[in-house]
Amino acid sequence: MERTNEEWLSDLKESSPRFDAAIVELRLVLQKGLSAGLKKWQGLNKETLEDIIQDVLVKIVPKIDTFQGNCRFTTWALKIGVNTAITELRHRRWRDVSLDEIIESGGMNFLSGNMSNPSYSPEKQTIQHLLMDTLKRLITTELTERQRKALMAVRIQGMPLEEVARQMGTNRNSLYKLLHDARLRLKKAILKEDLTPEDLIDSFISS
């Protein structure tokens, strides 16, 4: 018979004589739920899943007092598990990818290839390409190397902030500041071209 919420909360206290049995049962719940919910994610294998489950258990036990009782305890635990797993899988996806690799392989071609819409008229597509050429030139010429690398990795390629910060030898707050400065510098450069940021946005919105 499945435990009630109250039983989970009682049994998962480290002082409980049923603590070890509850941990074993919760591990099975997480293993079954995460295996089914994350089966489409690349990089999820048995070893990775076990590492994630261990991390989740370490997170859940100290947090059981924060459980509000608005749902089943196992649902709450699985939500923590899914969030932990997705974060970890995203990090693992990028862990062996260097920033230089991203810039060289994706490069500025990502902008043109992914931001133009073939359903637009030839005139609008031409305007899009001209504006993207301008934006690529400004990114290349107006930003520092660190600003350009951070902007390309985070905003264009979608690399997690924590991984970019790690590879750049900085922290999350400093990376935020770097990206903020890059956006301000890019905005000023766009204005000098007699364009506005709205011009770039409008060119990608169908009329």
Domain spans in the chain, listed from the N-terminal domain onward:
5-95, 99-202
Cα gap 24→114, rounded to integer Å: 47
Please answer whether residues 182 and 130 qualify as being in contact, where contact means their C-beta atoms are separated by less than 8 angstroms.
no
Q: What is the pTM of this model?
A: 0.50
The CATH-assigned architecture of domain 5-95 is Orthogonal Bundle (1.10)
Q: What is the pLDDT along the chain (207 residues), one digit of tens a residue?
A: 678 999 999 999 889 999 999 999 999 999 998 888 877 776 678 888 888 899 899 989 998 889 988 899 999 999 998 888 887 777 776 665 555 655 555 455 545 444 555 565 666 667 667 777 787 888 889 999 899 888 888 877 777 888 888 888 999 899 999 989 988 888 888 888 777 766 665 554 443
Please say whether the dihedral angle defined by the alpha carbons of residues 120, 123, 124 and 125, taken in this order, is positive or negative: positive
Assess contact for 94 and 42: CB atoms under 8 A. no
Q: Token digits for 188?
A: 């000023």
**CATH number assigned to the domain with residue range 99-202, chosen from the 4 options 2.40.50.100, 3.30.10.20, 1.10.10.10, 3.30.70.20:** 1.10.10.10
Transcribe 101-142 into DSSP letters.
HHHHHTTTHHHHHHH--TTS-HHHHHHHHHHHHHHHHHHHHH
The closest alpha carbon to 38, from 92, 86, 78, belongs to 86
